[in-house]
Amino acid sequence: MNHLPEAWGRPRDDVYGAYDHSHLRPSMPNQHTQEPIVTGTSVVALKYNGGVVIAADNLASYGSLARFSNMERLKQVGTHTVVGASGDISDMQYLFDTALEDLVIKEEYQNDGHHLRAKHVYSYLSRVMYHRRNKFDPLWNVLLVAGWDDGKPFLASTDLLGTTFSAPALASGFGASLAVPLLRRVCPDEESVAKISRERAIEAVEECMKVLFYRDARSTNKYTMAIVSGEDNKVDIEWKKDVELQKQSWKFAEEIRGYGAQIV
C-alpha cells in the first residue's frame, strides 16, 4: 500500500497509469468581477422638509460608448424606499431584479403587518455589499437609499466595499465631486433640512442633473426622478420618468480652454 494518503482509494498507478488530476479541476478559473463593464454614472439625492428627492440619468455606458439609453437606475423597494445605483449595470440588475425582489417577496409573504422600511433595506444592502467584498467578488456599485423612516426623511449610501455613509445631500460617481458641493450650498447640514421645501429640493437636484450633463462625458440628458414624501407614517412616492433636461445653456463652453483644437 502506498504510504501517501493522496493515493488511497485511487486506481493503482502501476496498473492503470497515473491519475489525471485535471479531471478534478474546474475547466475555467473562478470569474470574479475585476472591473465594471457596462456602467451607470451618478445618482443624486437630497433630503428636504418632508421627504427625499433622488435622481439618476437613464444611460448605461459601455466604456465611453453610450450603449443603452433607456436604463432606469432607480428602484422602488416596498412602500417606503427608493434605491439608486451607479456603477456596474449587471450587478445593479442582480441587486434590483433578484436580491431586492426576493427580499420584498419574503417579507410580504409573512403577511404579519411588518414591512421593511428604508433603514432596513439599507442595512440589508450594506451587509450584502460587505459580504461580497469579503468573497473578493464585490458588487461594483455605489448605492443610495432614499426613503421615509420613523417620521423622518432617510438618505444613506453604501459602496462596493460595504462602506456606509449618511448625509442630508449625497451623490455617487462623478456627482460626488460635482453635485455634492452644489447640493451643500442648499443643505450644508442636517439642521438645514427643515428649511428646504419640496420645490427647492427638486429644483436643486434638477440643477445638479444639468451640470452633470454639461461636464460628465458618461451622462445623458434624460433622467428619472423619484420623490419620496411622508407625513407621520404615511408615505407617497412620486415618479418622474424620462424627464428631459430643460433650459440648457452651453454658452459656458466657449470659455473652456486647455484641450481640443483651440488656439489659446
Partner 1 sequence: MFRNNYDNDSVTFSPQGRIFQVEYALEAIKQGSAAVGLVSKTHAVLVALKRNAEELGSYQKKIIGIDTHLGVALAGLAPDARVLSNFMRQQSMSSRLLYNRPVPIARVVNAIADKAQVNTQHYGRRPYGVGLLVAGVDETGPHLWEFQPSGMVLEYRGAAIGARSQSARTYLERNFEAFPDASREELVLHGLRALRDSLAQDKELTTANVSLAIVGEGEKFKLYDGEEVADWLEKLGSTQSSRGSRGAQAAAAPAGASGSGEGGDSMEVDA
Touching partner 1, residues 117-136 (CB under 8 A):
119-120, 122-124, 127
Residue 10 interacts with partner 1 (CB under 8 A): yes or no: no
Distance, C-alpha 2 to centroid of its chain: 56
Q: Hey, is 224 helix, strand or coil? A: strand
CB of 232 to partner 1, least distance (A): 14
163: left (phi over 0), alpha (psi -120 to 50) or beta: beta
Q: Which of the residues 33, 81, 158, 164 is marked catalytic? A: 33
Q: Give the residue among 79, 47, 42, 40 at the shortest CA–CA distance from 146.
A: 47
41 is known as an active-site residue: no
**Are the C-beta atoms of 179 and 171 separated by less than 8 Å?**
yes
Residue 112 interacts with partner 1 (CB under 8 A): yes or no: yes
50 vs 197: CA distance, rounded Å: 8
Q: Hey, is 205 helix, strand or coil? A: helix
What cell numbers appear for 233 in the block?
A: 407614517
Residue (75 or 119) nearer to partner 1, CB: 119
Residue 210 interacts with partner 1 (CB under 8 A): yes or no: no
Q: How many positions of this chain bind partner 1 (CB under 8 A)?
A: 11
Residue (80 or 210) nearer to partner 1, CB: 80
Q: Which of 27, 30, 64, 110 binds partner 1 (CB under 8 A)?
A: 110
Q: Where does this chain bind partner 1 (CB under 8 A)?
A: 110, 112-114, 116, 119-120, 122-124, 127
Q: Which amino acids are annotated catalytic?
A: 33
